[in-house]
Amino acid sequence: MSNVATFDTRTEAKIPVESPLAYSYRRSGAPAPTGKSRVVLRERPFLGHLILRGGAIVLDEAVREVLGVSLPGEPQGLVQDADGERSIQWLSPDEWLVIVPGGEEFELENRLRAALGDAHFAISNASGGQTLVELEGEAARELLMKSVIYDVHPSHFPVGKGVTTVFAKTTVILRRPAEDRWELVVRRSFADYTYRWLLDAGEEYGIGVER
Amino acid sequence: MFYIHCPYCGELREEEEFHPKGQAHIARPADPAACSDEEWGDYLFFRDNPRGIHHELWVHAVGCRKFFNITRHTVTYEILETYKMGEQPRFTAEHPEGRPSQDGVEQASLREGVRA
C-alpha cells in the first residue's frame, strides 16, 4: 500500500452544490425538449471521474479485479460495464479516464490503491474539474459535425470509441457509448462556453435541454 | 493544413491538435561542465535549417499529449513518416528513399499501449 494521503471530496455536511452548468441555465436558459427537437442535451453532473496512470498490464489486473471490466488497451477505446453506469476510456498509452456514479469514486480509488500495492501508478480524482454532457437524438451527429474537427461519421467513429479533440475554441473528450448517444466530457471552466455553443449550434435542430 | 499520423493514437489527426516543438534528436551534452562556450551555445541556440528532409519534434497537445517525431520535407511539405520517441527515422538526408525497414518492428510498436 502506498503512503499517499487520500481524502473523500464528498463530505457528510449538507453543503449546497451546484452543477457546472447551474449558472448557464440561469443566464442562458434551457429550452425544454419538444416534439420537434431532433437533439436533446442532458447534463450528468456530480459523477466520479478518476484519472488512472501507469502501465497497462498492472492497471488492467487491478481494474478487472475491482471494477470487473478490462482496461481498453487499444487507442481510443471505451469500455463500459453491463449496465453502462461505469466506464473506462483510453486517453493516452499510459492514461485512462474512469467515470463512475457520483459517490463511488473514493471507495473505488481506495480499492484500486489496495489492489495495485507497490506498483508504479497514479490515481487522481478529477470529479470537481469536469462534467459530462450528453447529446441524444438523430441530429446529434450533425450538431457535432459543426462543432468538432474530428470525423464523427459512423464508419470512423463506431460505438465504443472515445477521443480527445478540439471543440469550437476549446477541447473536449468525445465518446460514443451508444448508437444514438454521444458524451462530451468538458472542463468545468469551459462548461458554460460549451453549453452556449451547443445551444446556438443546435438551434436549427430544435435542441432541447433535459433537466 | 497537415494531416498528421500520431504514432501513439495510431490514426491521422488534424494539425490543429498538434504543436511543433522544433528540431528533433538534439542530445544534451553528457557532461555540460566540460563543454566549451561554443559547444554549449550550439546545443542551446543553434538549429539546422535544411532544404529537404528535416526531423522535427511535435506534441499531440490536444489528444494523447505525447511527444513524437516527424520526418518532413521542407520544400514539398510532405510528411514522410512519424515515429515515437527513442526510435530512429527511416527517411534521412542520406536515405531519402527510406532505409530498408526491419521486419515487423513498426507493426509491433503500434501495439505499444498494450504491452506498456
Write the Ramachandran bin of B16: left for phi over 0, alpha for psi from -120 to 50, otherwise beta.
Answer: alpha
Q: Which segment of A8-22, A90-104, A111-125, B40-54 scores lowest on mean pLDDT?
A: A8-22
Q: Is the pLDDT of residue A159 over 70?
A: yes
Instruction: Output the average pLDDT for chain A.
Output: 95
Determine phi and psi for B73, rounding to 5 degrees. -95, 120
- With bands split at pLDDT 50, 70 and 90, how would you rate the model's confidence at A110? very high
B116 — contact with chain A (CB < 8 Å)?
A: yes
Q: Is the pLDDT of residue B95 over 70?
A: yes
Nearest-Cα residue of chain B relative to residue A95: B64
The mean per-residue pLDDT over the stretch B58-64 comes to 97
What's B54's domain CATH number?
3.30.2270.10
> Which residues have CB under 8 Å from A51's CB, separation 6+?
A91, A95, A96, A97, A98, A122, A123, A124, A125, A126
Higher pLDDT, B5 or A7: B5
Between A92, A150, A166, which is nearest B8 by CB?
A92
- With bands split at pLDDT 50, 70 and 90, how would you rate the model's confidence at A12? confident
- pLDDT, residue A130, reads 95
- pLDDT, residue A69, reads 94
Q: Please tell me the distance in Å from B13's CA to the nearest CA on chain A.
A: 8
- pLDDT, residue B106, reads 52
- pLDDT, residue B114, reads 40
Interchain proximity A166–B66, CB inside 8 Å: no
- A112-127 residue pLDDT tens: 999 999 999 999 999 9
Contact (Cβ atoms closer than 8 angstroms) between residue A140 and residue A159: no
- A32-82 residue pLDDT tens: 999 999 999 999 999 999 999 999 999 999 999 999 999 999 999 999 999
- With bands split at pLDDT 50, 70 and 90, how would you rate the model's confidence at B1? confident
Q: Is the pLDDT of residue B104 over 60?
A: no
- All residues of chain A having their beta carbon less than 8 Å from the beta carbon of residue B10 are 74-76
A56 — contact with chain B (CB < 8 Å)?
A: yes
- A58-67 residue pLDDT tens: 999 999 999 9
Handedness of CA B45, B50, B54, B59 (dihedral sign): positive
- With bands split at pLDDT 50, 70 and 90, how would you rate the model's confidence at B116? very low
Q: Is the pLDDT of residue B115 over 80?
A: no
B51 — contact with chain A (CB < 8 Å)?
A: no
Interchain proximity B114–A74, CB inside 8 Å: yes
- With bands split at pLDDT 50, 70 and 90, how would you rate the model's confidence at A2? low
Q: Is the pLDDT of residue B112 over 50?
A: no
Share of chain A above pLDDT 70, in %: 99
What structural domains and CATH numbers belong to chain A? 22-210 (3.30.1360.120)
Interchain proximity B64–A165, CB inside 8 Å: no
A92 — contact with chain B (CB < 8 Å)?
A: yes
492497471: which residue's cell?
A59
- With bands split at pLDDT 50, 70 and 90, how would you rate the model's confidence at B102? low
* Cell representation of residue B111: 501495439
Distance from C-alpha of A167 to C-alpha of A89, rounded to nearest angstrom: 18
- pLDDT, residue A44, reads 96
- pLDDT, residue A208, reads 97
- B76-91 residue pLDDT tens: 999 999 999 999 999 9
Distance from C-alpha of A62 to C-alpha of A64, rounded to nearest angstrom: 5
**What are the angstrom distances between the C-alpha of A178 and each of A19, A33, A139, B8, B50?**
24, 20, 14, 25, 49
- With bands split at pLDDT 50, 70 and 90, how would you rate the model's confidence at A109? very high
Distance from C-alpha of A97 to C-alpha of A164, rounded to nearest angstrom: 11
Q: Is the pLDDT of residue B40 over 80?
A: yes
B18 — contact with chain A (CB < 8 Å)?
A: no
* Domain with B44 in it: 3-113
State the pTM of this model.
0.90
* Cell representation of residue A195: 453549453
Q: How many domains is chain B built from?
A: 1
Q: What is the DSSP string of A135-159?
A: EESTTHHHHHHHHBSS---TTTS-T
* ipTM score assigned to the predicted complex: 0.90
